[in-house]
Structure 1
Amino acid sequence: MTTDLLTLSGVHTHIGAYHILHGVDLRVPRGQLTLLLGRNGAGKTTTLRTIMGLWRASAGRITLAGRDIGALDTPRIAGLGVAYVPENMGIFADLSVKENMLLAARSAQRLAQIDGDRLQWIFKLFPAVEKFWNHPAGKLSGGQKQMLAVARAIVEPRDLLIVDEPSKGLAPAIINNMIEAFGQLKASGVTILLVEQNFNFARRLGDTVAVMDNGRVVHAGAMKDLAEDEQLQRSLLGLAL
């Protein structure tokens, strides 16, 4: 039986005067790729930021491997093996690709201290990271920046990778490369939680799916079942995909 690495139970989040999450229940099975889908404004990004402690849940419980992390700050959550790639990617534009990677490798003070085998594995996943190793990160294309953002997140082993809209604004060829890379990451044993708008991306990668609307999870199940049911797609997302 698959165990859940991450669970949210009845999670509410307020941002100032605004009540954004209204009792979110979410399960992220260990070793699988879980998609979080929904219309714009449904609460997907707020859910990710609440998991990471960037916004504090006002009620409910968030557990990672059975440990309640709801009261932990972001650095401590990251220290438990969680990596987060925000929608804006968060790269340091004035630093080189190499310097961005070194900053993300918290246990390394010099390039030589980064696990060489792991770095070569990352280069195979994202060849652009190696190709532009000494280039300023701000000069990369959108797809190359996204590859760098994910590469930084996995420069050290992670138990859980959380990524917000990895395919947003990318050309189809780059999206296919990203799908292949995430497939390899999943095969390596990394548990992944993705917010995604591209349904083809979601259908090809996802094991499980949760659909949000108005700050709640309104559907959860196998990605395969949602992909094969156009009526359910229309009901949940407003159109057949």
Structure 2
Amino acid sequence: MSAGLALEGVHTHIGRYHILQGVDLDAPGGLTTMLLGRNGAGKTTTLRTIMGLWRASKGRIALGDRALHSLAASDVARLGVGYAPETMAVFSDLTVKENLILGARQGPMDDRRLAWIFGFFPALRKFWLSRAGSLSGGQKQMLSIARAIVEPRELLLIDEPTKGLAPAIVGALIDCLKEIKATGVTILLVEQNFRVAAEVGDEVRVMDNGRVVHRGSMRDLAADQRLQMRLLGLSLDSHQ
């Protein structure tokens, strides 16, 4: 089982804006932890700060016993952390194959793992030698996720993975995440689709105004509509 992730008193400033204001967050090893909250709560900033794309101005971030808060993003990635950003951030002038090669830091891509990825995202096989810039938005999202998982990771940070995906692909993504979790990978997942969050999440942390304001099991939150309304301003029934 992979190591757990812990943030203690993490602050992040972006220019003159104080976005994270003392985040205390844990993602237990080998489980999928959902990071939920209203727009602007600080979820994406939290993932980017963990990844080293934005530097924490105060506090501690650790994966197991390894401190991350002082590392550059490239060094965080070398520790086995995969990141699929909300913006997808694919290299438009490179092919699908070349994008995935960039994600394979440990050496040549494993054919069996690629076949496993293609089972969930067959469009990537179809457009293997096509420029990533020619893909649809949903296909770019698939590529971004595939690049994060092209090699086994210890920790996966995934931001809004179902955004722009057709329902059939959302189902494939859910199956993919469940299989990854079964291998013992720690996952921290931001997701606006509450039904997806309820299906794949073990734990949940809810953010508001740059802090974590709720922690518990995803099952308990999914069963409590009043708590959903208080924390998120919506209920599971609103996604019927």
TM-score category, normalised to shorter length: over 0.9
Distance 1:93 1:200, change over 3 A: same
Comparing 203-212 and 145-154, the one that deviates more:
145-154
How far off its partner does 1:29 sit? 0.8
* Residue aligning to 1:187: 182
The 1:173/1:115 distance shift into structure 2, 3 A limit, reads closer
* 1:71 maps to 2:74: no
Greater shift, 10-19 or 167-176, is seen at: 167-176
CA distance in 2, matches of 1:90, 1:216: 26
Aligned with 2:144 (options 141, 146, 149)? 149
Q: TM-score, normalised by structure 1?
A: 0.93
**Separation in 2, partners of 1:71, 1:40:** 27
Specify the alignment match of 2:28 in structure 1. Answer: 29
2:97 alignment partner in structure 1: 98
| Percent of residue pairs identical | 64
Q: SS in structure 2 opposite 1:57?
A: coil
Q: Which amino acid aligns with 1:131?
A: K
- For each residue in 1:123-176, what CA deviation from the matched residue of structure 2 results, as whole angstroms up to 9, or x when unmatched? 223222212211221222222211111111111221011011001122222212
Structure 1 gaps, min length 5: none
TM score, norm. by length of structure 2: 0.94
2: CA distance between counterparts of 1:166 and 1:62? 23
More deviation, 39-48/127-136: 127-136
1:231 is matched with 226
Q: Which amino acid aligns with 1:45?
A: T
SS in 1 for 2:57: strand
Deviates more, 1:4-13 or 1:230-239: 4-13
State the partner residue of 1:159. Answer: 154
Query: In the comparison of the two structures, how many residue pairs are matched?
Result: 236
The answer to whether the Cα contact below 8 Å between 1:5 and 1:66 also exists between their aligned partners in 2 is: no
Residue 15 (structure 1) shift: 1.1
Q: 2:215 is paired with a residue of what secondary structure?
A: strand
Structure 2 residue identity aligned to 1:143:
G
- Does structure 2 conserve the Cα–Cα contact (< 8 Å) formed by 1:39 and 1:237? yes
Matched, 1:120 2:110: no
CA distance in 1, matches of 2:9, 2:90: 33
Deviations 1:36-68 (A, max 9, x none): 000000000110111011111111111111222
Q: What's the secondary structure of 1:94's corresponding residue?
A: coil
- Say whether the 8 Å CA contact 1:182–1:205 is kept in structure 2: yes
Does the Cα contact within 8 Å between 2:47 and 2:157 map onto a contact in 1?
A: yes
Shift of 1:4: 5.6
Is 1:168 aligned with 2:163? yes
Q: 1:101: Cα distance to partner?
A: 1.2
8 Å CA contact retained: 1:126, 1:181: no
Provide runs of 4+ in structure 1 moved above 6 Å: none
The CA distance in 1 between the partners of 2:226 and 2:106, in whole Å, is 49
CA contact (8 A) 1:4 1:28 kept: no
Over 3 Å counting, the alpha-carbon distance change for 1:219 and 1:55 in structure 2 is: same
**Is residue 127 of structure 2 the alignment partner of residue 132 of structure 1?**
yes
CA change 1:135–1:182 in 2 (3 A) is same
Aligned twin of 1:51: 50
1:1-40 correspondence runs (5 A): 5-40=4-39
8 A Cα contact 2:42 2:208, kept in partner: yes
